[in-house]
Amino acid sequence: MKPVRLDKFLSDSGIGTRSQVKLLLKKGSVSVNGEIIRQPELKIAPESDTVSFQGAILSHSEFYYYMLNKPAGYVSATDDNTAPTVLSLLKNAPGRGLFPVGRLDKDTEGLLLITNDGPLAHRLLSPKNHVDKTYLVHALGLITADDLIRLESGIDIGEKAPTLPAGAKLLSVKTNNGHAVSLVELTIHEGKFHQVKRMFQAIGKPVLSLKRLSMGTLLLDETLAPGEFRMLTDEELANLRA
Protein backbone atom coordinates (compact mmCIF):
# COMPACT_ATOMS: atom_id res chain seq x y z
CA MET A 1 0.00 0.00 0.00
CA LYS A 2 1.36 3.41 -0.96
CA PRO A 3 2.04 6.06 1.70
CA VAL A 4 -0.92 8.38 2.23
CA ARG A 5 -1.37 11.78 3.85
CA LEU A 6 -2.37 11.57 7.48
CA ASP A 7 -5.42 13.80 7.02
CA LYS A 8 -6.68 11.61 4.16
CA PHE A 9 -6.15 8.46 6.23
CA LEU A 10 -8.12 9.96 9.12
CA SER A 11 -10.90 11.18 6.86
CA ASP A 12 -11.16 7.79 5.13
CA SER A 13 -11.38 6.18 8.58
CA GLY A 14 -14.53 8.20 9.28
CA ILE A 15 -13.05 10.58 11.84
CA GLY A 16 -14.41 13.61 9.98
CA THR A 17 -13.99 15.77 6.91
CA ARG A 18 -10.51 16.91 5.89
CA SER A 19 -11.12 20.31 7.53
CA GLN A 20 -12.47 18.70 10.72
CA VAL A 21 -9.49 16.36 10.82
CA LYS A 22 -7.06 19.28 10.62
CA LEU A 23 -8.68 20.85 13.68
CA LEU A 24 -8.42 17.56 15.56
CA LEU A 25 -4.75 17.33 14.64
CA LYS A 26 -4.14 20.82 16.00
CA LYS A 27 -5.75 19.76 19.29
CA GLY A 28 -3.31 16.87 19.61
CA SER A 29 -5.97 14.17 19.29
CA VAL A 30 -3.92 12.04 16.89
CA SER A 31 -0.73 10.09 17.38
CA VAL A 32 1.42 8.06 15.00
CA ASN A 33 3.53 5.31 16.51
CA GLY A 34 2.93 6.79 19.95
CA GLU A 35 3.93 10.37 19.04
CA ILE A 36 1.38 13.18 18.85
CA ILE A 37 1.30 14.55 15.31
CA ARG A 38 -0.18 17.88 14.25
CA GLN A 39 0.90 17.98 10.60
CA PRO A 40 -1.93 16.91 8.24
CA GLU A 41 0.48 16.52 5.32
CA LEU A 42 2.58 13.85 7.05
CA LYS A 43 2.86 10.73 4.91
CA ILE A 44 2.21 7.44 6.70
CA ALA A 45 2.38 3.77 5.73
CA PRO A 46 -1.02 2.32 6.76
CA GLU A 47 0.26 -1.25 6.77
CA SER A 48 3.10 -0.54 9.23
CA ASP A 49 2.42 2.73 11.08
CA THR A 50 0.12 2.71 14.12
CA VAL A 51 -2.32 5.62 14.05
CA SER A 52 -4.43 6.40 17.12
CA PHE A 53 -7.30 8.85 17.58
CA GLN A 54 -8.06 9.81 21.18
CA GLY A 55 -6.23 6.67 22.27
CA ALA A 56 -8.08 4.26 19.95
CA ILE A 57 -6.01 2.55 17.25
CA LEU A 58 -7.39 3.07 13.74
CA SER A 59 -7.22 0.59 10.90
CA HIS A 60 -7.27 1.56 7.25
CA SER A 61 -10.20 -0.67 6.49
CA GLU A 62 -13.11 -0.48 4.10
CA PHE A 63 -15.47 -2.14 6.55
CA TYR A 64 -16.04 -1.59 10.26
CA TYR A 65 -17.88 -3.80 12.75
CA TYR A 66 -19.17 -2.74 16.17
CA MET A 67 -21.11 -4.49 18.91
CA LEU A 68 -23.52 -2.13 20.67
CA ASN A 69 -25.42 -2.84 23.86
CA LYS A 70 -28.51 -0.92 22.80
CA PRO A 71 -30.35 0.90 25.58
CA ALA A 72 -34.09 1.52 25.56
CA GLY A 73 -35.22 4.82 24.06
CA TYR A 74 -33.11 4.66 20.90
CA VAL A 75 -34.34 3.93 17.38
CA SER A 76 -32.53 1.36 15.22
CA ALA A 77 -32.10 3.65 12.25
CA THR A 78 -29.55 5.97 10.68
CA ASP A 79 -31.88 8.96 10.96
CA ASP A 80 -35.11 9.72 12.78
CA ASN A 81 -37.09 12.87 13.57
CA THR A 82 -38.84 11.56 16.69
CA ALA A 83 -36.11 9.96 18.83
CA PRO A 84 -32.33 9.59 19.05
CA THR A 85 -30.87 6.87 16.86
CA VAL A 86 -28.42 4.14 17.81
CA LEU A 87 -25.83 5.80 15.57
CA SER A 88 -25.85 8.81 17.89
CA LEU A 89 -24.18 6.51 20.43
CA LEU A 90 -21.28 5.93 18.01
CA LYS A 91 -20.52 9.56 17.18
CA ASN A 92 -16.75 9.19 17.43
CA ALA A 93 -16.49 5.69 15.98
CA PRO A 94 -14.38 5.36 12.81
CA GLY A 95 -16.11 4.23 9.64
CA ARG A 96 -18.26 5.85 6.98
CA GLY A 97 -21.78 4.72 6.13
CA LEU A 98 -22.44 2.81 9.34
CA PHE A 99 -25.90 1.33 9.87
CA PRO A 100 -27.62 -1.09 12.28
CA VAL A 101 -28.02 -4.66 11.08
CA GLY A 102 -31.73 -5.27 11.51
CA ARG A 103 -33.99 -3.49 13.95
CA LEU A 104 -34.60 -3.62 17.64
CA ASP A 105 -37.73 -1.84 18.82
CA LYS A 106 -37.25 1.50 20.55
CA ASP A 107 -37.91 -0.05 23.95
CA THR A 108 -35.86 -3.21 23.29
CA GLU A 109 -32.34 -3.50 24.66
CA GLY A 110 -29.31 -5.64 23.97
CA LEU A 111 -27.11 -6.81 21.14
CA LEU A 112 -27.05 -4.76 17.96
CA LEU A 113 -24.46 -5.09 15.22
CA ILE A 114 -23.39 -1.81 13.61
CA THR A 115 -21.38 -1.98 10.38
CA ASN A 116 -20.98 -0.62 6.87
CA ASP A 117 -20.62 -4.09 5.36
CA GLY A 118 -23.77 -4.45 3.26
CA PRO A 119 -23.12 -7.99 1.98
CA LEU A 120 -22.59 -9.36 5.50
CA ALA A 121 -25.72 -7.59 6.75
CA HIS A 122 -27.72 -9.07 3.88
CA ARG A 123 -26.54 -12.60 4.70
CA LEU A 124 -27.41 -12.18 8.38
CA LEU A 125 -30.87 -10.77 7.64
CA SER A 126 -31.85 -12.96 4.70
CA PRO A 127 -34.90 -15.08 5.67
CA LYS A 128 -33.50 -18.10 3.82
CA ASN A 129 -30.48 -18.25 6.13
CA HIS A 130 -32.56 -18.57 9.34
CA VAL A 131 -29.96 -16.89 11.57
CA ASP A 132 -30.72 -17.62 15.22
CA LYS A 133 -31.57 -14.71 17.51
CA THR A 134 -31.90 -15.24 21.26
CA TYR A 135 -33.84 -12.92 23.57
CA LEU A 136 -34.42 -12.55 27.28
CA VAL A 137 -38.14 -11.90 27.73
CA HIS A 138 -39.99 -10.63 30.80
CA ALA A 139 -43.64 -11.54 30.22
CA LEU A 140 -46.69 -10.72 32.29
CA GLY A 141 -48.29 -13.88 33.61
CA LEU A 142 -47.27 -17.41 34.42
CA ILE A 143 -45.75 -19.16 31.41
CA THR A 144 -47.00 -22.74 31.47
CA ALA A 145 -45.63 -25.90 29.91
CA ASP A 146 -48.36 -25.61 27.25
CA ASP A 147 -47.26 -22.04 26.49
CA LEU A 148 -43.69 -23.22 25.94
CA ILE A 149 -44.89 -25.99 23.62
CA ARG A 150 -46.88 -23.45 21.57
CA LEU A 151 -43.90 -21.12 21.30
CA GLU A 152 -41.60 -23.98 20.32
CA SER A 153 -44.00 -25.55 17.82
CA GLY A 154 -44.74 -22.41 15.82
CA ILE A 155 -47.59 -20.04 16.52
CA ASP A 156 -50.12 -17.99 14.56
CA ILE A 157 -49.27 -14.28 14.83
CA GLY A 158 -51.50 -13.14 11.99
CA GLU A 159 -49.15 -13.91 9.11
CA LYS A 160 -49.79 -16.25 6.18
CA ALA A 161 -47.90 -19.00 7.99
CA PRO A 162 -47.15 -19.70 11.65
CA THR A 163 -43.77 -18.77 13.06
CA LEU A 164 -40.98 -21.30 12.60
CA PRO A 165 -40.35 -23.65 15.52
CA ALA A 166 -38.45 -21.81 18.26
CA GLY A 167 -36.48 -22.62 21.37
CA ALA A 168 -38.17 -21.56 24.63
CA LYS A 169 -36.93 -22.02 28.18
CA LEU A 170 -38.61 -20.78 31.36
CA LEU A 171 -35.88 -19.36 33.61
CA SER A 172 -37.85 -18.04 36.56
CA VAL A 173 -41.18 -16.71 37.79
CA LYS A 174 -41.49 -13.79 40.21
CA THR A 175 -44.36 -11.80 41.63
CA ASN A 176 -44.62 -8.07 41.03
CA ASN A 177 -47.51 -6.11 42.59
CA GLY A 178 -49.46 -9.33 42.91
CA HIS A 179 -48.90 -10.36 39.29
CA ALA A 180 -46.70 -13.20 38.05
CA VAL A 181 -43.82 -12.16 35.80
CA SER A 182 -42.08 -14.92 33.85
CA LEU A 183 -38.52 -14.75 32.58
CA VAL A 184 -38.09 -16.71 29.35
CA GLU A 185 -35.15 -17.29 27.05
CA LEU A 186 -36.46 -17.45 23.48
CA THR A 187 -34.52 -18.34 20.34
CA ILE A 188 -36.13 -17.62 16.98
CA HIS A 189 -34.85 -18.36 13.48
CA GLU A 190 -36.54 -15.57 11.54
CA GLY A 191 -37.21 -11.87 11.99
CA LYS A 192 -40.83 -10.93 11.39
CA PHE A 193 -42.03 -7.47 12.45
CA HIS A 194 -42.34 -7.31 16.27
CA GLN A 195 -42.18 -11.10 16.19
CA VAL A 196 -41.30 -11.83 19.81
CA LYS A 197 -43.92 -9.44 21.18
CA ARG A 198 -46.55 -10.89 18.86
CA MET A 199 -45.67 -14.46 19.84
CA PHE A 200 -46.17 -13.72 23.53
CA GLN A 201 -49.30 -11.72 22.83
CA ALA A 202 -50.67 -14.79 21.01
CA ILE A 203 -50.37 -16.85 24.21
CA GLY A 204 -51.90 -14.07 26.29
CA LYS A 205 -48.68 -13.16 28.13
CA PRO A 206 -47.66 -9.66 26.93
CA VAL A 207 -44.00 -8.69 26.92
CA LEU A 208 -42.91 -6.27 29.64
CA SER A 209 -39.28 -5.99 28.59
CA LEU A 210 -37.08 -7.48 25.91
CA LYS A 211 -33.33 -7.86 25.56
CA ARG A 212 -31.43 -9.52 22.70
CA LEU A 213 -28.58 -11.74 23.85
CA SER A 214 -27.23 -13.09 20.57
CA MET A 215 -27.43 -12.99 16.79
CA GLY A 216 -25.95 -15.98 15.01
CA THR A 217 -22.56 -16.65 16.58
CA LEU A 218 -22.30 -13.14 18.01
CA LEU A 219 -22.96 -12.97 21.77
CA LEU A 220 -23.62 -9.79 23.71
CA ASP A 221 -20.57 -8.75 25.72
CA GLU A 222 -22.11 -8.39 29.18
CA THR A 223 -19.25 -6.09 30.25
CA LEU A 224 -20.73 -3.44 27.95
CA ALA A 225 -23.08 -1.14 29.85
CA PRO A 226 -26.22 -0.01 27.98
CA GLY A 227 -25.11 2.53 25.39
CA GLU A 228 -21.53 1.25 25.24
CA PHE A 229 -19.95 -0.35 22.18
CA ARG A 230 -16.72 -1.92 21.00
CA MET A 231 -15.22 -3.26 17.79
CA LEU A 232 -15.71 -6.95 17.07
CA THR A 233 -12.74 -9.17 17.71
CA ASP A 234 -11.12 -10.97 14.78
CA GLU A 235 -12.57 -14.25 16.08
CA GLU A 236 -16.11 -12.85 16.38
CA LEU A 237 -15.94 -11.47 12.84
CA ALA A 238 -14.53 -14.70 11.40
CA ASN A 239 -17.33 -16.70 13.05
CA LEU A 240 -19.99 -14.33 11.72
CA ARG A 241 -18.61 -14.56 8.21
CA ALA A 242 -18.50 -18.35 8.40
DSSP code, position 164: P
105 is catalytic: yes
- Length of the chain measured in residues: 242
- DSSP lists the bridge partners of residue 140 as 181
d(CA 38, CA 27): 8
d(CA 150, CA 14): 47
* Geometric angle at alpha carbon 66, from 62 and 72, rounded to 5°: 140
Contact 68, 114 (CB under 8 A): yes
Residues near 213 by Cβ (< 8 Å), separated by ≥ 6? 110, 111, 134, 135, 136, 185, 219, 220
Chain centroid, CA 145 distance in Å: 32
d(CA 40, CA 29): 12
**Catalytic-role residue among 49, 80, 105, 107:** 105
* Torsional sign, CA 224, 228, 231, 237: positive
Catalytic center residues: 105
